[in-house]
Amino acid sequence: MAKYLDCVGPTARGSGVKIDVRKDDPYLVYDEIPFKVITSNSCDVFGRTCVHVYELAESIKIINYAIENLPNGNISVDVSEKVKLGEVITQYEAPRGELFYYIKTNERNMIDRLHIRTPTFSNWISVVETIKGMHVADIPIIIESIDPCLSCTARTTFVDVEDKKVNTMTWGELKEYSIRWYKERGIGWDED
């Protein structure tokens, strides 16, 4: 399902999909740095969380290797201010997954078109699948497990498919509902 939904980063790797732009299409010096692509086959919140945690340790190894093998030379280079006419597609592995850019320039030395696909955009649709059959109270942790950038998502709308009732909650209200729902069932912890 993660492959079918085009999930990226820890969201895909938490479902056993071994993809990482740094390995699959290396850029900079990633083809010279030994590192593991961390995966989990549990296909759930726990698997995605484990991938995030183990990737922290792997990132420290990457940084240490890069420092130990830093070549001599200038630490900066001159870059032309003139933009070449044409189109370019590029991708990078960001903490949440593949970050994709499409840039088209024009004859006036300007960017004519820019398209950015963020990892959250790629992973968001997976939430729709993972919340099916779950309690509303489970939704915040499921959403958090994809590590979303929620800058444009201020509220969530629920539609009860049986009676067609619509309910809208802010992200804060949804979190409060989740905590209250579990506490009422004796699941959770005391804050004291």
Per-residue pLDDT of the chain (192 residues; tens, 9 = 90+): 999 999 999 999 999 999 999 999 999 999 999 999 999 999 999 999 999 999 999 999 999 999 999 999 888 878 777 778 899 999 999 999 999 999 999 888 888 888 888 898 889 889 989 999 999 899 999 999 999 886 645 556 777 778 878 877 777 788 888 888 888 888 876 655
Residue holding tokens 């699959």? 24
How far apart (Å, rounded) are the C-alpha atoms in residues 61 and 138? 34
**Cα distances (angstroms) measured from residue 89 to each of 21, 22, 30, 100:** 13, 16, 18, 7
Which pLDDT score is estimated for 74?
83
**Quick check: pTM over 0.85?**
no
List the structure tokens of 21: 């732009």
Strands of the chain (E only): list them.
Answer: 87-94, 97-105, 111-117, 155-159, 166-170
- Amino acid identity of residue 66, one-letter, is A
Q: What is the pLDDT of residue 191?
A: 58
3-state secondary structure at position 94: strand
